[in-house]
Amino acid sequence: MIIRCIANTGEYLPENYIDPARGYTKKIKLPLTVGKEYVVYAIRAWQGIVWYYICDDNYSYYPMQTPAPLFEVVDSRVSKYWRVMPYPNGVLRIAFEQWFTDPYFYDKLTDQEEAEVEIFDQVKELMDAEDFALPPLDVAVEKLRETVSV
């Protein structure tokens, strides 16, 4: 999934994203470049609030949780490395498998634990290289129909 930044300040966030305790105020300026495209490595959704995990402009070794309203979706196709995990509390996560096999994966990653950083580096490389240049589904289906009807 590829998204494009359309805003990088809290002024553009809906009220339900404003959370001063976590640093999300109307005055926040995030390290994002308006117009730049970013690969989404994971998604978290809860109570109508969606966060994309991306490597922002300050990226060093882990993806940051970033409010979805600051982006538009450029390519909605999902990564073949993603898995979906709905939790009983209503949280929905979409991420690569290791994020789920170890419930503390992201915490360890942000703590710069060597194994988790290496795993993310490998997954990031794979996801960054995914070929989203395939034709849209309607074009592919039409080609398949032509092949079958011959």
Write down the pLDDT at residue 149: 65
Look at the block and give the residue holding tokens 């703590």. Answer: 111
Write down the pLDDT at residue 59: 94
Separation CA 66–CA 68 (nearest Å): 6
- Model pTM? 0.86
Write down the pLDDT at residue 150: 53
φ, ψ of residue 134 in degrees (nearest 5): -65, 155
Q: Which two tokens stand for residue 136?
A: 């849209």
For residue 92, count other CB atoms closer than 10 A to its CB.
13
Structural contact between residues 109 and 62, judged by C-beta atoms closer than 8 angstroms: yes
Counting as low any pLDDT under 50, the low residues of the chain are: none
Indicate the burial class of 113 (C-beta count within 10 angstroms; 0-12, 13-18, 19 or more): middle
**What are the boundaries of each domain within the chain?**
2-149
Separation CA 150–CA 145 (nearest Å): 9
pLDDT, tens only, 84-120: 999 999 999 999 999 999 989 999 999 999 999 999 9
